[in-house]
Amino acid sequence: MEKSGKSRCALALFFLFIFSQAAADNGAIPVLTIDGADYVALSDLGRVDGLDSSFDIITQRGRFYRGTRTAVYQAGLSAALFSGTLKKYPRPVFRRAGDVLFPAAFAEDLLRDFFPEGAVTRKDRLIVFSAMERAPRRTPPADEAAPPEKAGAPEARDRIGFVIIDAGHGGKDPGAIGRKGLHEKKITLGVARRLESYLKSNLKGVSIVLTRRSDTFIELATRTKIANSHLREKENGVFISVHVNASISPRISGFETYYLSQNPSNDEARATAALENNVVVLEEKSHRKSYDDVEHMEAFMLTAQIQRESALLAECIQSGIDRSTSEFKSRGVRKADFFVLRGSLMPAALAEIGYITNPREAQHLTKAAYQEKVARGIGEGLVSFIKKYNRMIKN
Ligand SMILES: [Zn+2]
C-alpha cells in the first residue's frame, strides 16, 4: 500500500521528454545506414507535424501519439504495439547519443498508420512523407477515431520459434517459504531446468531460453523484457513462469495456472497475484514506477488476441499437469494481475504448481521424481499449445 504512494511521487519527478514541435508538415526523413540496416532517428520523426512522442529514460519505453492512435516501443525490442496491434521488425529499436533509432520499416508503418490520408514513399535515402498532398486535413483534425476497417482486420501471426521458461524468484528473493527453510525459488528452478530438458527433446526447431539458470535475483519487468527481446519478424514465442503458492491454511493444496487480466477470477486469485507481486519491494526504487497506475494502462495494452492465446496456453498447461500428476487436485485456470506477465508481447501463463504451506505437497515438491512429473505436465501442455497455435495460423 505504502509503495504506490511513494512511486506516484517518484513519477512526478520523472523525466519525460516531449517532442511535439510544429515544424515541417511534409517532408523528407533521412534514412541512416547502421550496421547494414536502414534506420530513422527520433529527432527527425519529431519534426513531423501532428506526430507527438515521449520517451521515458528509466523504463526505456517510448510512445508516439496522434489523436486516438498510439504506438508503444521499447529500446532493445524488435517489436512495437500500434494501437494494440503487434508489429515486428528485423532489427531492434535502440538508443544512441541521446536519440532513439527505429528500423526504417517502423517509421514507414508509423506514418502510414497515423496519417492514413497521407502518402509515404521511399526515395533513395529518404522517406518522403506528404500528409497534405492527397487530401488536405479536414476541419476536425486530431481526434478522429481510427477507421472502422482497421478494427476488424485479422492480425498476421507468426510461428512459435522459442519458449521462455521463467523460474520464479531467486537470489535475495526466496519466494514463498515453507517449513524447515524450504524456499520456493529452489523448487521453481528445479522444475524449470527439468522442463527445459523435456522441451529440448520434445520440441524440435524451437529454442528454449531460461530467464535464470542459477540462484540469481531478476526483477519482474526484466523477465518479460528478456522474453520480448527474442521476438523477431516472422517469429513468435511463448512465456511460462513457474511458481509455488502459499496459504495461511496448511490444508490447502493443488495446482493452478494463470493468465494476465485486470479482473481477477476471485479473491484467492487476487491474493496469489499480490503475493507474487510483493517482490517489487526488493527491486530498484527507480524501477518500481513501471508497476503503478500511470503505466498500468500501457502494461495492459496487450492485444485481445494475445490474451485469448494466453487463456488457451493456461488451459493447455493446467490440463498437462493434471494428466501427468495424480497426487494433488487441479484448482483450474484463473486470471489475475501478475506483474511478471504484464507487458508480455506473446502468449504468457504462470503456473502455481502447488502449495509450499501444505506439508504433504511441500514434501512432494522437493522430490526430483515429482518435479519431473510436473515439468513433464507443463511440457506436454506447451507442446499441445504450440500444435494448436500452429494449426490456427495455417488456416
Ligand atoms: Zn512465486
- pLDDT tens-digit readout, 251-265: 999 999 999 988 889
pLDDT of residue 5: 44
Q: Which helix (H) or strand (E) holds 377?
A: helix 368-394
- Pairing mode of beta strands 236-245, 348-355: parallel
Residue 261: other Cβ atoms inside 10 A: 19
Q: Cα–Cα–Cα angle for 247, 213, 224, nearest 5°?
A: 70
Cα–ligand 1 centroid distance for 353 (angstroms) = 10
Give me ligand 1 centre to Cα 321, in Å: 17
Entry pTM: 0.78
**CA of residue 354 to ligand 1 center, whole Å:** 11
Report the pLDDT value the prediction gives residue 385, as an integer from 0 to 100: 97
DSSP-derived secondary structure for 305-356:
HHHHHHHHHHHHHHHHHHHH--SS-EEEEEEE--GGGTT-SS-EEEEEEEET
Q: pLDDT tens across 113-157, in order?
A: 999 888 899 988 999 888 754 444 444 444 434 333 334 444 557
Residue 169 alpha carbon to ligand 1 centre in Å = 6
Q: Which residues make beta-bridge pairs with 85?
A: 82
Q: How far is the CA of 388 from the centre of ligand 1 (A)?
A: 28
Residue 152 confidence (pLDDT)? 40
Largest Cα span, the chain? 74
What cell was used for 315?
A: 488451459
Q: How far apart are CA 340 and CA 168, in angstroms?
A: 9
What type of residue sits at position 359? P
User: How remote is the CA of residue 278 from the centroid of ligand 1, in Å?
Assistant: 9
Centre of ligand 1 from the C-alpha of residue 359, in Å: 17
User: Residue 368 C-alpha to ligand 1 middle, in angstroms?
Assistant: 19
Residue 128 phi/psi, 5-degree rounding, is: -95, 120
- Residues 80, 374: Cα–Cα separation, whole Å: 34
Residues (pLDDT < 50) of the chain are: 1-25, 133-154, 294, 296
Cα angle: 376, vertex 185, 264; to 5 degrees: 80
Gap between the Cα atoms of 361 and 192, Å rounded:
18
Q: How far is the CA of 187 from the centre of ligand 1 (A)?
A: 10
Q: What is the mean pLDDT of the chain?
A: 84
Q: Is 150 helix (H, G, I), strand (E, B) or coil?
A: helix
The reply to whether 15-151 and 160-394 are identical in fold is: no
**d(CA 272, ligand 1 centre) in Å:** 9
- Cα–Cα distance, 333 to 349 (Å, whole number): 10
CA of 351 to the centre of ligand 1 (A): 9
Using the mean position of ligand 1's atoms as its centre, give its distance from the Cα of residue 20 in Å.
42
* CA–centroid distance, residue 181 to ligand 1 (Å): 15
- The bridge status of strand 61-66 relative to strand 27-30 is unpaired
The rounded Å distance from CA 308 to ligand 1 centre is 24
According to DSSP, the β-strands at 119-123 and 348-355 are: unpaired
Which SS3 state, helix, strand or coil, does residue 54 take? strand
Nearest to 331 by CA among 256, 249, 253, 247: 256
Q: Are 182 and 165 in contact (CB under 8 A)?
A: no
- Residue 166 CA, ligand 1 centroid: distance in Å: 11
CA dist., res. 283 & res. 343, Å (int): 17
CATH number of 15-151: 3.30.457.10
Q: How far is the CA of 223 from the centre of ligand 1 (A)?
A: 13
What pLDDT does residue 366 have? 97
Q: Residues with Cβ < 8 Å from 57, sequence gap 6 or more? A: 15, 17
Q: Which three cell numbers stand for residue 243?
A: 511458481
How far does Cα 74 stand from its chain's mean position?
11
Domain map (residue ranges) of the chain: 15-151, 160-394
Q: Tell me, in angstroms, the distance from the centre of ligand 1 to residue 52's CA.
A: 39
**146: DSSP letter:** P
For residue 254, the CA-to-ligand 1 centroid distance in Å is 15
- DSSP summary character for residue 173: B
Q: How far is the CA of 275 from the centre of ligand 1 (A)?
A: 7
Residue 173 Cα to ligand 1 middle (Å):
10
Report CA(5)–ligand 1 centroid distance (Å): 24
pLDDT at 302: 62
- Which pLDDT belongs to residue 154? 44
Q: What is the architecture, at CATH level 2, of domain 160-394?
A: 3-Layer(aba) Sandwich (3.40)
